[in-house]
Every structure is written in structure tokens, then in C-alpha cells.
Amino acid sequence: MDTSTLIESFADFAKQKNIDRPTMIRILEDVFRTMIRKKYDTDDNFDIVINADKGDLEIWRFREIVDDNSEDIWDHDKISFSEAKKIQPDFEIGEEVAEEITLIDFGRRAVMTARQTLIQRVKDLEKEVLFQKYKDLVGEIISGEVYQTLNREVLLIDGEGNEISLPKNEQIPKDRFRKGENVRAVIDRVEMVNGNPKIILSRTSPVFLERLFESEVPEVYDGLITIKNVVREPGERAKVAVESYDDRIDPVGACVGMKGSRIHSIVRELQNENIDVINFTDNKELFISRSLSPAKIVSMKINEGDGRVSVFMKPDQVSLAIGKGGQNIKLASKLAGMEIDVFREQELGEEEDVDLQEFNDEIDAWIISELKKIGLDTAKSVLTLNKEELVRRTDLEEETVEEIFKILKQEFE
């Protein structure tokens, strides 16, 4: 393979991979300098001139002419007078010899190795460019076409033909994808796996919901409304705290839109995820109250020391506050940044009730947790139900329920 063929084939390959000219020249020079060092141990006294457009390559070796008996004769940048005269008869001691080195001088094997190295360097650079491109886009929404669905991930292709991954644990539980379908997700992270960039998307990340608000609500995109916090149970429920710095803008109304027009498209994208948009405030009591929406509270007691807040509400509001499977209270706690405990407020003239937590020496913690999940946090709230209903609404066995009733009834006898 001659010089022009090698460089022209590399230049064509580099252009196909969108490698710019300065980078292409740098790669060529690096590879040829490696060849020089391998053959001559150093490249200090070599110049490389490349014209990639014409496929030209010139390698020049510079050495100073010294007397045949000089001690410096073995230095890499010196040449004996007798050797120099073979190159050009009229050379004199002290002059510099510029000798052109051709690819043939390196041998066929070295040239073939150089060709493979050039191709590999471009491929490595292509991976590095892809990695950096997506690294800079982390947190942004991207659309890709499904080309393969696997058990643990769905593989997509972006607009430039790059493979991107949407793992199972980053999919909304109700997501079902078909080949050729377009999918939107947020770029969650980019990792190097065995030297290859792996772009990982997410549809469960709170950032995805935040970006959807930016795309659907112009005031959020323009910065007139700020999203202070987002918490999610993907595909089930989400709470979004918003704030406006302009008194003329109602942040909740702007995010929801006329008759829910703006939020409906977000809800559809998230497989009918129920989204509560809440007006943010620095007033902790008011914000916690709003976070527990749609439940209405009567009073609360905040304990800053252990980051817990006790909320008291009417019996018919307790199950609303806790929500299906404890979702509402869990999201409210995350949104407020405090652990919220919900209690039934005792009505005037009502007999004193006992918190279930008081029975933790007789009833296992996981059983109490199961009861609290369905809004039962006191002894009397449990005793108002019959055995069959309690078995139906929880994962508890009939014998366990009978034992619970026995323990709780003894308290009031």
C-alpha cells in the first residue's frame, strides 16, 4: 500500500465519521510518530508534513554531520561524515542532513498495523465524541425509535443512529412498547461499558416530569414559574411544588391550564399518573397542609429535632391523607422533607382512643404498618371494622385479625 492510498482511505473514513480536518491530521501524525519511535527509538529529530486532501505524506529525518571518529557518532541526531557523503557527495562536517523517509522503509507489516491503528483511533474518537455529547445532555428529554424490546431493557435508536437504552427499572410499570414506536424519556446518565458509551434513559425520574412541565407550560420554560420540588410514584401519583415570582401569575392554574388542558398531555405521557400541583410556600405548616391534599387537616405539631410532624384530622380525612397503599402520605413526606404521622382527632365527648403504636409490645411492627396503610392508626378505628372487612382490606390472616381484636378490646374492658 502506497502513501497516497493509505491517507486517502483514512481521510474518506474519517469524513464518514464526521471527524474534522485538524483532528484527522493530529491522528495521522500521532500514528506516524509512533511508527518512527518504534523503528528509531525517538521522533525528536523528525518532521512530518501531511496534506490529507492530496494524500501526500513527507517524513524528514534531520541529523548533524560529525567526524567518523567523533564520540557523538552514535547519538540519534548525528550522522558520520562517510554516511552523509553517500547521501550527497558535497556534504561537509557540521552541516545538517535532511533525509526523506518513505513508508517502504518501515516495512509492509508496520504499514498494515498503521492502517488498523488509524481506523481504531477514529472509532475510539467517535465513541469519545458520542460519550461527551450525551454527557452534556444529561437531564434533557430525547425521543428515540424502538428497535428491540428485551426482558431487562428496551433499545432505541436516536436521530443519528446511535443506540440508547431504557432499562426495565427506568420504565413506568404500565409502559408497553412496540417496535418502530417513538418513545420520549430523559437522559439519566452516560456510562462507559467495556470501552463503549452506554446512554441510559429514564421515564421514572422526577427530572422527566420536570422537563415535561417545561415543554407544556411556557411560563415554566421562560422561568416565570419555578418548580421547587418533584416527587413521584411512577405511573401512580406525583406531587409538584411550584412557585411564581410574579404576583399576577397563579402558578398552579398556569401549570394545570384551562380545564386541565396543559396537564392532560403530561398525564397521558406518564400513563395516567395522578399529578397534584401544589403552591410552594416557606410557611412549613401551610406547605405540609397543602402537601397532604386532598385531605383537610385540623391541627399539627412540628418537631424540628427529629424531623417529624404530627398531623391531626377528622376520621373521614385519615384515609384520604394516607391514600392508596400509603402513596399520598409517602409523597407528602418526601415533598415536605419531614416524616408525617397522621392521627384521628378525638371528637368532643368521644371516649379516649389509643394510638396503635402503644401496642408495639404486643402487636408486631409490620402488622401495625399494614393497618396504618389503610388509614387505621388507633385502636378504635380498627375495632369499628368487622373481621371479614379487615381481612379483605389487608394482607393479614384471619387468625392474626382475631388476635388483634382480642388485644385491642382488652384495652377498653
Tell me the residue type at 71: E
The pLDDT assigned to 218 comes to: 94
Percent of the chain with pLDDT over 90: 40
- Looking at the structure, tell me whether residues 289 and 401 fall in a common domain: no
- Looking at the structure, tell me whether residues 103 and 165 fall in a common domain: no
CA angle 201, 234, 153 (to 5 degrees): 35
Query: Mean of the pLDDT values across residues 210-222?
Result: 94
- Looking at the structure, tell me whether residues 19 and 120 fall in a common domain: yes
**44-55 pLDDT per residue, tens:** 999 988 876 666
254 within some domain: yes
**Where residue 189 sits, what CATH number does that domain have?**
2.40.50.140
Higher local confidence (pLDDT), 110 or 203? 203
Phi, psi of 308 (to 5 degrees): -120, 155
- Looking at the structure, tell me whether residues 8 and 106 fall in a common domain: yes
The domain in which residue 241 lies consists of 212-275
The pLDDT assigned to 4 comes to: 67
Number of independent structural domains in the chain? 5
132 within some domain: no
Phi, psi of 202 (to 5 degrees): -145, 140
CA angle 328, 259, 334 (to 5 degrees): 20
**82-122 pLDDT per residue, tens:** 988 888 888 888 999 898 888 778 877 877 887 788 778 87
- Looking at the structure, tell me whether residues 100 and 173 fall in a common domain: no
Q: Choose the final residue of a domain: 293, 328, 345.
A: 345
DSSP lists the bridge partners of residue 65 as 79
- C-alpha 135/C-alpha 188 separation (Å) is 9
Query: Mean of the pLDDT values across residues 218-244?
Result: 94
How many CB atoms sit inside 10 A of residue 392's CB? 10
Percent of the chain with pLDDT over 70: 94
